[in-house]
Structure 1
Amino acid sequence: MLITLLAGACGRRTPAPEAVRPVKVTTAAGAGLIDKDFAGMATPDDAVNLAFKVAGQVLDVPVAQGQSVKKGTLLAELDPRDIELQVSATRSAFEEARSQQQRMQRLLEHEAVSRQEAEAASTRYAQARSTYENTLDLLKDTRLRAPFAGVVERKYVDNFERVQAGQSILRLVNPVTTTVQFTLPETGLSLLRDSSTHFTVEFDNYRGAAIPARLKEYVETSSDASGFPVSLTLENPDPARYRISPGMSCTITMQSTDPVPDAVSLPVSAIYAPAEGGTYVWIVGAGDRVTRREVKPGELFGRDRVVIDSGVAPGEKVVTAGVYQLREGEQVRILK
């Protein structure tokens, strides 16, 4: 009998305890201010394609591409001989008209000519003077000078090449800028009108330096549906530490208040989207057991966050790792 009892005891096994899955959780909190990052680039404050107002043959372009120039520096010159001939002709006509007008004034004083003849002479004189002054201006226009200090970014013509009026000769750019530009999707356009929206800019050359910026201008149209161009002005960048040049790449962070007042923010890893459809999170409740709950996600922001417009209340514990291994009602162990 003793042997039988021992054999029966050995045959009965104690059931294994239920495995408790360890999980990481976060406490849902109000979204408040949300950050969105955009790739941007510094654009020039001052940049211009310079051209002659008159046609002619290029006599000389005495600057090299990439050369720094001061304001007023001679950048290009046309052969002035054709214009000089016009100046000589109009000067002769002007001097003749002036002499005739002076003569008519003397005769009018002695009543030797009519007032109508004197006024006609004055009109011819005024026309000749205007023509002469215009040709003098054309002579000045045969020389291009730098309107501001900058760098010659591009040269479009060579010496002795014949050019037309308005044809680009070279491009001058200010090498130091305070302007950056990025493309904003249509979902964020309304945030630009919000006074609570702020910007910071971090350049790839100056990692860790967040330079504040303010909205300069934006365009509310997008012809190619790629987004809306937005320009910012950097606020008081230290030129001794941060030399910002056109073409430098940067990351623009736009910080704004979430438009949904009751929304909360969660890591993207907390979202559970099974193959059968729907968007859910796992809520840790009483007894550390999880419950699947459907949510309405909002916009992504920052680097790994998402706004939850509805479905989660502030203060609730939400699983953030291993969401695809959980089952409804399963008990978990929260990792500290």
Structure 2
Amino acid sequence: MVVSYSGIAGRRGKNPTKIVIHNDGGSKNAKASFYKSWLENHNPELGFAHYYVAEDGTYQAEADGNSAWHCANSVGNRDYLGIEVCQSLGSESVFKANEQKAFKLAATLCKKYKLNPSVAIFPLHRELSSTDCPHRSFALHGKAIVAVKNYYVEQVKKYFGSTSSGSSSSAGSSLAKNTKPLKDGKVGDLVKVYDALYRDSTGAGRSTAKRGKQGRIKRIVANSKKYLVEDWGWAHPNDLQLIKRATGSTSVKLPAGFSKEEATFVNGDTQITTRTNKPSLKGTVGKALKPHEKVAYLGWKVSEGYTWIYTKDKRYIPVRLVGKAAWGTFK
């Protein structure tokens, strides 16, 4: 069922040209059933999207053929479909599941309106107006516009029926599916490059030059091409096969709410106070991170307006104010 907004923001008179995937900024209770009730008593001029995708299903608030006030941009409101990924302030697992539903919906809409999934088809809300939307996707999938857009396209293509990018070679597209993709890779693992490597972790600069070679994982980040192999390039788990697990390493469990990212933080010119029991300024003070000191970390989390890293020696270290430059560099 579509709510009574039908056409209130104008009738487009043509097929939509792009799709904006939003994050709703709602709590764990902001489900499709909530939005159905809330939107019917909500001033539409304050904003609404076409679809609301949540744990309990998908609610369509406006017909595809009509415009919607969803991105504070005249062209975007008129010509683009808006999909809200709901419960973006709730649990990460629920949000990611909702994202996948939204990607599947986006793939269906792309097919319906003959849109070829590409970064041009999926502008971010923050590109169209002043906002932090999609805030949760931004934090989870690269913290950069190009990284998030590449992730969106990659995920939509899974459901669209395309698994290769426009830059893939004919050899790459004809390669048999990797039946033993890397699972839960660790820094130091010896792996075989089954398919391609990329110049950066967002998926740019695809190359098959190292196909069949063996090398070790040097770094792991949160982007889709998450594994750095030697200094050759970045790989998706489907691009690699495990040869031998790293030995002599100790596994440290990430605290709740932390996103996995194995790398090194190099502090800047100012000493940073660390915490030993929780990512909070009220936590127990630990050994300070000295100026220019390096520290290996396993994951990150946003808490109290700061981005915190969790280190191998089990310290919580704030490394930046959210939305601001880091107090050091990441390697």
Q: TM-score, normalised by structure 2?
A: 0.19
Higher relative contact order (CA 8 A, sep 6+): 1
Larger radius of gyration: 1
Relative to total residues, which structure has the larger strand share, 1 or 2?
Answer: 1
